[in-house]
Amino acid sequence: MHLYRVLTAIVLLPALLFLLLKGPLLAILLVSGLAALLAWHEYARMATLPFPVFLGGALALVMGFFLLKQGAGLLLLGLWSGLFLFLLYFLRHFEGQKSLFHLLSAMAGFFYVFLGFGHLFLIVTLPQGRLWMLYLLASIFGTDTGAFYAGKTLGRHKLIPRVSPGKTWEGTFGGLFLGILLAVVLGLHFELGKPFHLFLLAGVLSIVGQLGDLLESLLKRGFGVKDSGTLLPGHGGILDRTDALIFAAPLLYWLLHLKGYGQ
DSSP string of 3-16, one letter each residue: HHHHHHHHHHHHHH
User: What integer pLDDT is reported at residue 5 of this predicted model?
Assistant: 62
Q: Which amino acid type is present at position 166?
A: G
pTM: 0.92
Distance CA 159, CA 78 (A): 36
Distance CA 114, CA 110 (A): 6
User: What integer pLDDT is reported at residue 205 of this predicted model?
Assistant: 97
**Domain residues of the chain, as ranges?**
2-258
Q: Which long-range contacts (CB under 8 A, 24 or more apart) does 165-174 make?
A: 167/213, 167/214, 167/217, 171/146, 171/147, 172/147, 172/210, 174/146, 174/147, 174/149, 174/150
User: What integer pLDDT is reported at residue 126 of this predicted model?
Assistant: 92
DSSP string of 103-116, one letter each residue: HHHHHHHHHHHHHH
In this prediction, the residues of the chain whose per-residue pLDDT falls under 50 are: 262-263
Distance CA 54, CA 18 (A): 32
Of the candidates 154, 151, 128, which has an alpha carbon nearest to the alpha carbon of residue 213?
A: 151
Distance CA 108, CA 104 (A): 6
Distance CA 221, CA 27 (A): 34
